[in-house]
Amino acid sequence: MDKKLLLGIGTAALSFAGVWWLKQNLPLAPKVPLVDENTVLLFQFTYSPYCVKVAKIMDFKGIPYKTVNLLPFVNKKFVKSLSGQGLVPVIKHRGKIISDSTAIAKYLEEIKPEPSIFINDDNTLNQEVHLLEDWSDESLEPPFAKLAMIYLFEHPEVIIESDEYNTGVEIFDKNKQMIVPFITKIKLKDYGIDTSEKDVLKKRVRGYLDMLSSRLEKSDFLVGGRLTLADIAVASHLTVAEKVPYIYEDDNYTHIFNWQKDIFKAARRKLASSNI
């Protein structure tokens, strides 16, 4: 039998076996904690910068919340049944289900206006906050995410050797060395990423970081001289860059990542307020 055909059959068998094992041994719905009416439930993938953004907003505002960590493949149907689509973040609060980080940010501002993540007394600056948040979501994050995926494909040992990428499923976590290269290759195909794009993507993200550097020469904050949603959104998306060493370890951008750390310190968890 042709070796490629044999490998293909073996891979397919492994995939079907894995899906069957998961259905038999793992609950398709995660364990959701009981919370009082003031506490927000955040359903998240731990590595998602959009989920980081929502968590940092709640930290800054002192909104009590608990996280429910999901597995992308295992809990996909659960997320869809929860919000009507398969993406995170999703929050649940007082019987309401809200998805999309921008919509969630707006809701959190409504239930806890202070401290504000907007500049509501200046419409021009407030529009700038919204524009920069949208830019960070739609322009800044995608090339970083693609570079991170390429890097993990080229360096599967990062996933294999790190507990951060464990699924909690023993049979898979113990066999990551065999499974990870196959999974990363599939994900590249799913997202339409070609490894030949790497240099173009590097140039693009460096251009974005140069733009941020220029903007931050005048102030420690992106808009209005104080912390806003724009800062939290950009800083959250820069967490993806930490998975791309040929960007994160570039000395030209050390100050950008130091700025990110300062923003996260400014948005650090405050004592949760029950006045929401």
Closest CA to 119 of 267, 234, 235, 223: 223
Looking at residue 18, its pLDDT comes to 52
> How do strand 90-93 and strand 96-99 relate by DSSP bridges?
antiparallel
Number of domains in the chain: 1
Question: What mean pLDDT value characterizes the chain?
Answer: 86
Beta bridge partners of 69: 44
Give the three-class secondary structure for 222. coil
Q: Is residue 187 pLDDT above 70, yes or no?
A: yes
Choice between 184 and 111, residue whose per-residue pLDDT is larger: 111
Instruction: Please report the beta strands in the chain, taking only residues with DSSP state E, as ranges in sequence order.
Output: 40-44, 65-69, 90-93, 96-99
Q: How confident is the model at residue 14 (pLDDT cuts 50, 70, 90)?
A: very low
- For residue 211, tell me if it sits in a domain: yes
CATH number of the structural domain spanning residue 186: 1.20.1050.10
Tokens, residue 244: 């791309």
Task: Tell me: pLDDT of 58 over 70.
Answer: yes
Residues in the chain: 276
Asked if pLDDT for residue 266 goes beyond 90, the answer is yes
Could you identify the residue written with the tokens 């980080």?
101
Q: Is-contact 153 188, C-beta < 8 A?
A: yes
Indicate the pLDDT class of residue 42, thresholds 50, 70 and 90: very high
Residue 7: what pLDDT?
44
Query: How does pLDDT run across 78-98, given as a tens digit for each residue?
Result: 888 888 887 899 999 999 999
Question: In the predicted model, is pLDDT for residue 255 greater than 50?
Answer: yes
pLDDT of residue 168: 65
Name the pLDDT band for 174 (thresholds 50, 70, 90).
confident
DSSP letters of 108-145? HHHH--SS-SS-TT-HHHHHHHHHHHHHIIIIIHHHHH
H/E element, 179: helix 176-190
Instruction: Report how far residue 135's alpha carbon sits from residue 147's, in angstroms, rounded to the nearest whole number.
Output: 18
Which residue segment(s) compose the domain that 224 sits in?
Answer: 123-266
Pairing assessment for the beta strands 90-93 and 40-44 based on DSSP bridges: antiparallel
Per-residue CA distances from 255 to 214, 258, 263 (Å): 11, 5, 12
Residue 90: predicted pLDDT: 96
Instruction: Give the pLDDT score at 10.
Output: 44
In a domain, 74, yes or no: no
Task: Identify which of 72-81, 122-131, 179-188 has the greatest average pLDDT.
Answer: 122-131
- Kindly state whether residue 234 falls inside one of the protein's structural domains: yes
* Alpha carbons within 13 A on the beta-carbon side of 214: 6
Which residue, chain included where needed, has tokens 């993938």?
Answer: 45
Instruction: Tell whether 108 is covered by a domain.
Output: no
Strand 90-93: give its sheet, edge to edge: 65-69, 40-44, 90-93, 96-99
Nearest to 129 by CA among 255, 260, 232, 256: 232
Q: Is 149 exposed, middle or buried (CB count within 10 Å of its CB: 0-12, 13-18, 19+)?
A: buried
Whether the pLDDT of residue 225 is over 60: the answer is yes
Residue 5 lies in a domain: no
Low-confidence winner among 34-43, 209-218, 225-234, 263-272 (lowest mean pLDDT):
263-272
**pLDDT, tens only, 119-156:** 989 999 999 999 999 999 999 999 999 999 999 899 98
Confidence of residue 13 (pLDDT cuts 50, 70, 90): very low
Separation of alpha carbons 241 and 148, rounded Å: 7
pLDDT given for residue 272 in this prediction: 56
In a domain, 64, yes or no: no
Residue 81 placed within a domain: no
What does the pLDDT read at residue 246?
A: 83
**Residue 160 within any structural domain of the chain:** yes
> What percent of the residues of the chain are helix, what percent strand, and what percent coil, each to the nearest 5?
60, 5, 35
Identify how many contiguous H helices and E strands the chain contains and give both numbers.
13, 4
